[in-house]
Amino acid sequence: MASNQDAVELGSPRELELRLTLIPLGDTVRGYFFNCALEQVRLQGDEEALRRCIEASGLESCTAFFKYPMSALLQLLYHVSWALKDSSGSFEASMRQLGQWTAKEFLVGSVGRTMLLLAGSNLKRLADSLPTAYRTGWEHGWGEVAWTGSRQCLVSIHGNVVPYPYFEGVFVEVFQAAGASNLKVKGWQVGTADTRYSLSWG
């Protein structure tokens, strides 16, 4: 992470506040990211946790393809991850699960189904389509793919303040759905709003 965050624990309230300061005014994200996160808290049956999460984002329900403030999503993701921490084992595991659940919902929608259909069994084509798929959901940051081998690549996400475990979960779910074998996904923070992911498969 950036040097000013070296002593700040990932998933702490202070770390959330630092990330919020880096969101450009007007950045938005589609509503289905909110709905997927809140649904996981509803499934837990903890009404008090659900209330805290709704208050944190200021949104009780969203229309899937409408645009909502990125700052609201970040606060929601942190509060949901805190609420799920006991059942998942850690903040990072909660955030990773949220990424997987969101990707699962994305893949049953029209955009996700089309992405998998166009890629077929060609995982390189699937990886190359990630930046385009990213733009369908996020008006916050951008992605790029660099190939390091015939079955391995580096995916970079620039200008997005969501912690790296979330997108680890997204990539695991997407590539498993496409039939990847021996899949390995490893993410890390390059900067507070920049993450990188090593993806490889058999």
pLDDT digits (tens, 9 = 90+) for 92-112: 999 999 999 999 999 999 989
Average pLDDT over residues 137-163: 98
Grade residue 179 by pLDDT with cuts at 50, 70 and 90: very high
Q: Are 173 and 98 in contact, with CB atoms under 8 Å apart?
A: no
pLDDT confidence tier of residue 114, bands split at 50, 70 and 90? very high
Percent of the chain at pLDDT exceeding 90: 91
Domain 1-202 maps to which CATH number in 3.30.70.1520, 3.40.50.300, 3.90.1520.10, 3.40.50.720?
3.90.1520.10
Confidence class of residue 7 from pLDDT cuts 50, 70 and 90?
low
In the chain, where are the structural domains located? Answer: 1-202
Segment 32-74, tens digit of pLDDT: 999 999 999 999 888 999 999 999 999 888 999 899 999 999 9
Residue 181, classed as helix, strand or coil, is coil
Segment of 5-14, 18-27, 44-53 carrying the highest mean pLDDT: 18-27
pTM, full prediction: 0.94
Per the prediction, the chain carries an average pLDDT of 94
φ, ψ for residue 69, nearest 5 deg: -60, 135
Comparing 91 with 59, which gets the higher pLDDT? 91
Answer yes or no: is pLDDT of 3 > 90.
no
Please give the Cα distance from 91 to 112 (Å, whole number): 27
pLDDT at 2 over 70: no
What is the pLDDT, as a whole number, of residue 61?
83
Q: What is the pLDDT of residues 118-144, one digit of tens each?
A: 999 999 999 999 999 999 999 999 999
Whether pLDDT at 4 is above 80: no
Report how far residue 174's alpha carbon sits from residue 103's, in angstroms, rounded to the nearest whole number: 6
- Alpha helices (H) in the chain, listed in sequence order: 13-20, 31-44, 47-57, 70-88, 91-108, 110-119, 123-128, 130-137, 164-177
